Chain A
Amino acid sequence: MSLELKIKKDFGGFVLDMELSAADGETLALLGASGCGKSMTLRCIAGVVTPDEGRIVLNGRVLFDSARRIDLPPQKRHVGLLFQNYALFPNMTVEQNITAGIREKVSRQEKRALCRAVMEKFYLTDLASHRPSQLSGGQQQRVALARILISRPEILLLDEPFSALDSFLRWELEQELTRVLGEFPGPAVLVSHDRNEVYRISHRVAVIQDGRVDCCAPKRELFSHPPTYQSALLTGCKNFSRVRPLEGGRVEALDWGAVLTCASPLPPDIRWIGIRPHFVRPADAPGENVILCRVVQVIDDVTDTVVTCATPGPGGPDSLLHLRFKPPQWEALRGKEELLLYFDPQAILPLRGQGLGPTLSKRPE
């Protein structure tokens, strides 16, 4: 029992070409920059957007199959879609909103009892007669979740569930959502562009770029060994260099103007290496995997010092490194114009490349 999906849709200039699956009880995260097709994929599963071709199967039920001309209306798909803005009916009270989600043809009293029980569970009883406009973002989300769960969906689709919330509210709601997901027996798909959120909530992560699945892996594996440029970027890697593979696990980092040894096996179609900001360490003396860099900019952040260095590469933004040092570590280096930096072979990520060049897509933050 699960979700199987393979769809294509041409939006003219943007093509969605997705292939995904999610098992029961599993939370699959779609991680990608905005406009990459994550939300559109959820809407295709829910049936409010129709793909050009493909097949969507939920728990053995065919929701959509272009070859067999099957396209179930959203009403019959039993898919719970939590919208980014929650999409509560503004003219109805909390109680009416939740009651509207009841699918069973039961008496008014029974509906009332069902609704009461759900409101109790989501701490909404006191808000029963409020309108959505009177609720905080967090309360709205609880109402939307309650309304979805009362309709007994077979799958939960969550579209950027926390993007409309203040950061201090997020934590609390994230815990609540984690609880809901833990109790939910079916598969769930979470759309997000926040890597931390994805890491905390989901089990498996699909990195989406330009309407396609760039790579898909269990979250721990993906965060420790992202296989592609895009997955490295979205899991927080900030430093990339184009490479030419050499003998013996070594690569020539073209943008950094250095030859580096890499501990991980190099894929045959390697195009980049990447290293996370806090994995580059100062070195005492020149040697293997040590590059002499010039300090360009130093910014003191709350917990770290962010240092921008110029490598011996050909220059321009692609040849810069963005590093993070803990304050005591940086104290020893403060004032130096040049640094010897050690690139731990274990920390160097060999990456398959795809899509845009580094100057266009690198370092979005």
Chain B
Amino acid sequence: MLESMFPALAQVVSDWYPLFNSLRIAAISTVIVFFTGIFAAYYIARLPRLLKGVLDVVLTLPMVLPPTVVGYFLLMLFGNRRPLGGWLLATFDLQVVMTWYSAILASAVVAFPLMYRTARGAFESVDPTLRYSGQTLGLSNTYIFWRVIMPASRQGILAGTVLAFARGLGEFGATSMIAGYIPGKTNTISTTVYNLWQTGQDAEALKWVLVNLAISAVVLLAVNMLERRDFIPTARRRRTGKEGA
């Protein structure tokens, strides 16, 4: 319907499909990782030492494993003839592999440790007396988390989110295994660059390389700008007339 109404738009979307696909995969996996990573970081930090150590290793593994190994595990789980994948296919008619959204899984798994670790580091660097004082004042733990701990670890959370987004955007190994390379369906920027280069279309590949560079630059720029908008109280800004805390 969309194509018939806006043929020009449809053309643009199909021309720029890898960009569009990469961005939505990275964005959705970042949202997933944002919440799961923060949740894991907050609760695991308070577990007993032994359990914490074990979970820490398990959750950080995807960061150090080759992405192809992650892809292998994902295929073992979600392949159409594997228990989970087979069940999803039979019950919900949902095929997880070789679709654009299967790349979300790959991106999320690979990006999760970045979010988890940076968020944990951020939470651990928050002075515990802030939580204690909030509790003794009668504030609920939920309030303390969202209104005190999160703002205090904002920098780390932000850094983790950006890292996770960048990692998700650049994911290649696990993505190409679980989502494959189906032009117009599952191709992302990184798999497109690889396939164009392999088939000798260097100029086309360069175009996508430049696109990727542009996105990364924009992301980093955005971070810098966000960081500069620190807790600059309006009072001081008015008084001294300059920015910076």
Q: Which residues of A contact B (CB under 8 A)?
A: 43, 46-48, 73-81, 83-85, 87-93, 100-101, 103, 129-131, 133-134, 144, 147-148, 151, 153
Q: Does B245 contact A (CB under 8 A)?
A: yes
Tell me which of A92, A129, A133, A151 contacts B138 (CB under 8 A).
A151
Q: Does B136 contact A (CB under 8 A)?
A: yes
B235 nearest in chain A by CB position = A129
**Would you call A129 and B234 a contact (CB within 8 A)?**
yes
**Would you call A90 and B231 a contact (CB within 8 A)?**
yes
Chain B residues within an 8 Å CB radius of A134: 233, 235-236
Q: Report the interface size for chain B: residues with CB under 8 A from the other chain.
A: 24
Chain B residues within an 8 Å CB radius of A43: 132
Expressed in whole angstroms, the Cα–Cα distance for A353 and B148 within the complex equals 47
Tell me which of A77, A81, A131, A133 contacts B133 (CB under 8 A).
A81
Expressed in whole angstroms, the Cα–Cα distance for A101 and B129 within the complex equals 15
Question: What are 11 of the A-B contact pairs (CB < 8 Å)?
Answer: A73-B135, A74-B132, A80-B136, A83-B133, A87-B132, A89-B148, A90-B130, A92-B147, A93-B233, A101-B138, A151-B138
Chain A residues within an 8 Å CB radius of B83: none
B236 nearest in chain A by CB position = A134
Expressed in whole angstroms, the Cα–Cα distance for A85 and B151 within the complex equals 19
Expressed in whole angstroms, the Cα–Cα distance for A362 and B137 within the complex equals 40
Q: Which of A79, A87, A90, A130 has the largest count of B CB atoms less than 10 A from its CB?
A: A87
Residues facing A in B184-209 (CB within 8 A) are none
Q: Chain B interface secondary structure, helix, strand, loop or mixed?
A: helix
Q: Does B62 contact A (CB under 8 A)?
A: no
B229-245 interface code vs A (CB 8 A; 1 in, 0 out): 00101111000000001
Top-8 shortest CB links A-B: A87-B133, A91-B151, A74-B135, A87-B129, A48-B132, A103-B138, A101-B137, A83-B129
Q: Does B3 contact A (CB under 8 A)?
A: no
Tell me which of A46, A75, A78, A144 contacts B139 (CB under 8 A).
A75
**Would you call B129 and A130 a contact (CB within 8 A)?**
no
Q: Which residues of B contact A (CB under 8 A)?
A: 127, 129-140, 147-148, 151-152, 154, 231, 233-236, 245
Q: Chain A interface secondary structure, helix, strand, loop or mixed?
A: loop
Chain A residues within an 8 Å CB radius of B152: 89-91
**Would you call B236 and A77 a contact (CB within 8 A)?**
no
Extra A-B contacts (5), CB below 8 Å, given A131-B231, A153-B136 = A48-B131, A73-B135, A85-B129, A88-B133, A91-B152
A104 nearest in chain B by CB position = B138
Chain A residues within an 8 Å CB radius of B139: 75, 100
Chain B residues within an 8 Å CB radius of A148: 137
Tell me which of A46, A48, A131, A147 contacts B233 (CB under 8 A).
A131
B128 nearest in chain A by CB position = A48
B130 nearest in chain A by CB position = A87
**Would you call A100 and B135 a contact (CB within 8 A)?**
no
B140 nearest in chain A by CB position = A75
Chain A residues within an 8 Å CB radius of B131: 48
Q: Quote the shortest CB–CB distance from B135 to chain A (angstroms).
A: 4
Chain A residues within an 8 Å CB radius of B234: 129
Chain A residues within an 8 Å CB radius of B129: 83-85, 87
A150 nearest in chain B by CB position = B137
